[in-house]
């Protein structure tokens, strides 16, 4: 199993540009998550999904959109990139959503907005 994969690994955007961060998992997990990690900080939840067709906002959703058309894929869309969105983005998945269920993380996408 590849686990959770993310593309691209790095990206530089200009202010106002848009892009989609891709996330795919091959573990047949129902739950998927997008986090951002600002320099020197912990991760904050942007959006999550409990299954295909169902998404919901996390702690910091402004400026982002998501969709979940399949169990495997959970892309994150930035419509109008802003310097405040410079961050490292992590996608994660889990099979269940109990307090004891580990979330498996992808390798991250480092995004810089200039």
Partner 1 sequence: AQKITQTQPGMFVQEKEAVTLDCTYDTSDPSYGLFWYKQPSSGEMIFLIYQGSYDQQNATEGRYSLNFQKARKSANLVISASQLGDSAMYFCAMKKIDISSGSARQLTFGSGTQLTVLP
List contacts with partner 1 (CB under 8 A).
31, 33, 35, 40-45, 48, 50, 58-59, 88, 90, 92, 97-108, 110
Shortest CB 28 distance to partner 1, Å: 18
Q: By C-beta, is 48 or 64 nearer to partner 1?
A: 48
Shortest CB 61 distance to partner 1, Å: 12
Q: By C-beta, is 17 or 22 nearer to partner 1?
A: 22
Residue 8, preceding peptide bond in cis (omega within 30° of 0):
yes
- The secondary structure of residue 96, as a DSSP letter, is -
45-75 as b/e, with b when 16 or more CB fall inside 10 Å? ebbbbeebeebeebebbeebebbbeebbebb
Shortest CB 50 distance to partner 1, Å: 7
The length of the chain is: 114
């Amino acid at each position: 199993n590849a686990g959770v994969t993310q593309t691209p690994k790095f990206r530089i955007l200009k202010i106002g540009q848009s892009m989609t961060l891709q996330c795919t998992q091959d573990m047949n997990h129902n739950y998927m998550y997008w986090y951002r990690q600002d320099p020197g900080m912990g991760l904050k939840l942007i959006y999550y999904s409990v299954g295909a067709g169902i998404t919901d906002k996390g702690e910091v959703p402004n400026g982002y959109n998501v969709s979940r058309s399949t169990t495997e894929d959970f892309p994150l869309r930035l419509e109008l990139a802003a310097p405040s969105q410079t961050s490292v983005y992590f996608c994660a998945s889990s099979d269940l959503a109990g307090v004891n269920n580990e979330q498996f993380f992808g390798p991250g996408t480092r995004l810089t907005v200039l």
